[in-house]
Every structure is written in structure tokens, then in C-alpha cells.
Amino acid sequence: MQGFKTRAISAVVFVILMAGGILWSYYSYVFLFFILMNLLINEYINILKNVRKPNNVSRFYKPILFTTASVGFIFSTLVNSGAWPLQMMAVPLALLFFIFILELYSNAEAPLRNVAFNVLGIIYIALPIILSQFLISNENNIYDGSLLMGVVVMIWVNDMMAYLVGSRFGKTPLFKRISPKKTWEGSLGGLFGCIVVAVSAYFLVGILNWNDWLGIAGIVFIFGTYGDLVESLMKRNFNIKDSGNFMPGHGGFLDRFDALLFTIPFVVFYLLLFVWN
């Protein structure tokens, strides 16, 4: 019972922080996602310490990743607001190549392996966080984070319904080799939850047509599930149970945001292709 209370309290605090940060204002969104991005990168780097041997340049990995990701996020906010031209995004891209240059000075046995791990951190974490800016609106100083919040709620409901339905009715493994506890029955429960959120968002929020909300629900269902499976694959590869312990009873940051990181690029792609063309 004490464990359940701890999980419940930490979940409520988490929801309040996320909803408040996304919905309050543009600046609260920027602050929340900037901090979140760096916390995710920090956790990712800490995980890598378990699978790669220290070398003479190891101490520079974290500063380079933090700097590259932070500059990319800050510059993208300025470009997205119209304050800076798109060409300024060449700066964080240039910083990314210092990851390659650094390994020229390392005494690591497999320097390109270190390059791959570090670049993966930017692609897997920083890029989706940067792309989340396409899911908020700040036109004419009128901020609207309801689209991003809708995606986040879909992911939460997908996870919750998949767990509840899977625990009660789950019999058919979804991907036994990677995540033995996930079932097709649970996944279908998650899909139903996403559809309910999509219909509710159409009537409560608007912004998009009902078919576009349903399209996003399908994307969240498919790629949110894949995001969870990919993170499970990573944890198996790194031989760890949880990515961290920031939320009592819920694991680490990557455990909580794996689906969001995987979903955002595909939602943005869908909107660019079918809604904003």
C-alpha cells in the first residue's frame, strides 16, 4: 500500500508539472522542455558509463552533448519565433561535429563506437524536444500549447489503458523477445484510449479536424508503443532494469518520456504532410 501511495503521489506531481509547464505560457513551455532535455541527456550519459570504458576524453562527453543540445534548442526557439533566420541553425549542426573531432584525441579502443553513442543522444533526445516547438503556437504573442498537451495526454492514456487492459485480459504477447509483459490485448486497450482522447480533444480544444485528431491518435498508438519497445531494447542492451529513479515507483526520465520522444517527429511529419501543406 505504501508503494502504491508513493507511485500515486509522484504521478500526480508529474502530471501537474507537465500540464502546468505546457499550458501556462510560452516561457514555461521553453523552460520545462529545456530542463527536461538536459535531464534526459544527463540520464542517457550516466547509462552509457556502464557500457563503455573511460578514456582520456570521457570528461568532455557530457559538456559537448549539453552544449550542442542546449544551443540547438535555444537557437531553434529564436528561429521559430522569427527573431533569427533559419541559417543560424548551422551553428548547433557545426557543434555536433566536435563529437567526431574529440575522438581523434582519445585513446579509446573503439572511438567510432563512442561517436555513435554520443550522436545517438542528440538524435534520440535533443531532436524530438526541438521538434516539439512545431506543436505549440505563439502567434501574435498568443500562446497555445493545447496540441502538444493533447499528444502528451494521448501517450499517458495509451500507457495507462495498455497496462490496465493487459493486466486483466492480456494473453497474447506483443513482442515477447523485447518486452514479455506487453500484450496485444493491452495494446488494443491503449488504442481505444487514444481514440477517446482524440474525440474529446476535437470537441474540447478544436484546432484540428476530427480526422486529424484521429490520425494523431493512430500515430501515438503505433509509435508510442515502438518508442517504449525501443527503450526496452536499449535497457536490455545496457543490462539495466530502469533508466533511472527520478520518480519513485516509475523509473527514470527515459522510462517516462520514451514514447513522447519517439512520437513527436512522426506527429510533426503528419501535420506537415496533411495539415499544414
Range of lowest pLDDT (19-33, 36-50, 190-204): 36-50
122 close to 15: Cβ distance less than 8 angstroms: no
Summarize pLDDT for 65-107 with one digit per residue, the tens. 999 999 999 999 999 888 899 999 999 999 999 999 999 998 8
- Pair (219, 277) in one structural domain: yes
The 10s digit of each residue's pLDDT in 132-153 is: 999 998 666 688 999 999 999 9
65: burial class by Cβ within 10 Å (0-12, 13-18, 19+)? buried
Domain assignment present for residue 17? The answer is no
Structural domain includes residue 15: no
Distance between CA 6 and CA 77 in Å, rounded? 36
pLDDT band at 198 (very low <50, low <70, confident <90, very high): very high
Is residue 1 situated within a structural domain? no
The residue out of 83, 107, 142 marking a domain boundary is 142
Among the listed residues 247, 194, 254, the one whose alpha carbon sits nearest the alpha carbon of residue 230: 254
**pTM for the whole structure:** 0.90
CA–CA distances in Å: residue 104 to residues 31, 107, 108: 35, 8, 10
Question: Is residue 20's pLDDT more than 50?
Answer: yes
Tens digit of pLDDT for each residue in 101-130? 999 998 888 889 889 999 999 999 999 999
- Residue 19 in domain: no
Instruction: Please check whether residues 155 and 264 belong to one and the same domain.
Output: yes
d(CA 198, CA 153): 10
Residue 246 has pLDDT above 80, yes or no: no
Helix axes 26-48, 253-270, angle to 10 degrees: 120
> What are the cell numbers at 205?
480544444
pLDDT (0 to 100) of residue 118 = 92
CB 249 within 8 A of CB 260: no
Domain match, 149 and 118 both: no
152/107 same-domain check:
no
Q: What is the pLDDT of residue 11?
A: 76
Task: Provide the domain limits for residue 191.
Answer: 144-277
